[in-house]
Amino acid sequence: MRGARPTCSVVVPVKDDGDPLERCLVALDAQRLRPDEVIVVDNGSSDASVAVAEAHGARVVREAQPGIAAAASAGYDAARSDLILRLDADSRPPADWTQRVVDRFVADPALDALSGPGEFMVVPRPLRRALTGWYWYAYFERIGRKVGGPPLFGSNLAMRRAAWERVADRVHREDQGIHDDLDLTVHLREAGCRLEVDPALLVPVSARPLLHPVGLIGRARKAEHTIALHPAR
């Protein structure tokens, strides 16, 4: 595939995320390399999320099974392109995001999945840097040791559709208590896929879940549960 541009689909799972979804889709509309399709997976929204998606020309996929793992998996299943890119509704991809992601896969035909960190928004700059550094050390380094290497990050990841097809029937898509990106990471590695994390592939994301004890505790419990599903490797 070196030298040829693969097609790309962007998957955004949502539930009652109309306002942040609007800002995410505006950022996708501004990409220098426009995605071939944007898929918004509605996981039972009662707000205007679907209307927002349709207003931006996104393809709406509905997933009745609750949970981010089920919603994200439904989006990956529906993707028609060579590459599947993933954002969350509160992601704000820079204008060169899709171009940089696609270029990496073109340059490296053996690469199966790629991810980068988030830069936390809506906090003072000194706190932003400290929070970002602490979180990514904990996630990529400490958790990475328990899942066989640096994990993918759901708000900023990409994979070849062929890689997804190798694990689509293995991921724990019906388990609401997991971190779907950690689970995906383990299954891709078990399938022999090559994953990379690029620290320079930054995407701004919301810091809200990390600024409250309940959010931090919830994330920690999900990480523990996900790791427990996969014996030490």
What are the DSSP calls for 56-79, one per residue?
TTPEEEE--S-SHHHHHHHHHHH-
Whether 41 is in a domain gets the answer yes
Token output for 95: 């204008």
| E strand or H helix that includes residue 98 | helix 97-107
Q: How many domains are contained in the chain?
A: 1
What are the DSSP calls for 148-173, one per residue?
TSPPP-TTSEEEEHHHHHHHTTTS-T
Q: Is the dihedral angle over the CA atoms 121, 124, 130, 134 positive or is it negative?
A: negative
- Tens place of pLDDT per residue across the chain (233 aa): 455 799 999 999 999 999 999 999 999 999 999 999 999 999 999 999 999 999 999 999 999 999 999 999 999 999 999 999 999 999 999 999 999 999 999 999 999 999 999 988 866 777 777 777 877 888 888 888 888 899 999 999 999 999 999 999 999 999 888 999 999 999 999 999 999 999 999 999 987 766 666 666 677 788 777 777 886 55
CB atoms within 10 A of CB 67: 20
Whether 113 is in a domain gets the answer yes
Cα 230 from Cα 228, distance rounded (Å): 5
CA atoms lying within 13 Å on the CB side of residue 144: 15
Whether 184 is in a domain gets the answer yes
Residue 194's domain spans which residues?
A: 8-229
Among 24, 1, 2, CA closest to 206:
24
Domain with 222 in it: what CATH number?
3.90.550.10
Whether 190 is in a domain gets the answer yes
Whether 3 is in a domain gets the answer no
Cα 58 from Cα 39, distance rounded (Å): 6
Which residues on neighbouring strands pair with residue 85, listed in sequence order? 10, 158
Whether 1 is in a domain gets the answer no
Whether 147 is in a domain gets the answer yes
Whether 2 is in a domain gets the answer no
Q: Tokens 């950690």 label which residue? A: 182
The torsion angles phi and psi of 114, rounded to 5 degrees, stand at -140, 145
